[in-house]
Amino acid sequence: MENIEEKIICECGNKTIKEAEEIFALADPALSYKKAKKLVTGCDKTCCISPLMELFKMVREGSVDYKKIAYLMERQNRWLIVL
């Protein structure tokens, strides 16, 4: 089974959860979510907003729940398939 941290969280930026976590952790703490997100995605799309925003908050709080991020990704993927 695939390691949760190695799942792609953003197709636009082709970043894994772990890579996004590292980018958020290294970003200036004063940086807003929108600007920090752009470091991960490289775009302004909102296709991965739920899992990325939650990951951003978790990194800021100092504790990441990978299962919750994976759940949000799965839920969002199901929603996109319905469209």
43-78 pLDDT, tens digit each: 888 888 999 999 999 999 999 999 999 999 998 877
> Does residue 11 lie in a domain region?
yes
| pLDDT of 78 | 72
Containing structural domain, residue 13 = 7-82
| pLDDT of 41 | 92
> Does residue 1 lie in a domain region?
no
> Does residue 2 lie in a domain region?
no
> Does residue 30 lie in a domain region?
yes
- Angle between helix axes 17-26 and 33-41 (nearest 10 degrees) is 130
Rounded to whole angstroms, what are the CA distances from 13 to 19, 61, 66, 68, 72?
10, 24, 19, 21, 18
Count how many domains the chain has: 1
> Does residue 13 lie in a domain region?
yes
Q: For all residues of the chain together, what is the average pLDDT? A: 89
pTM: 0.87
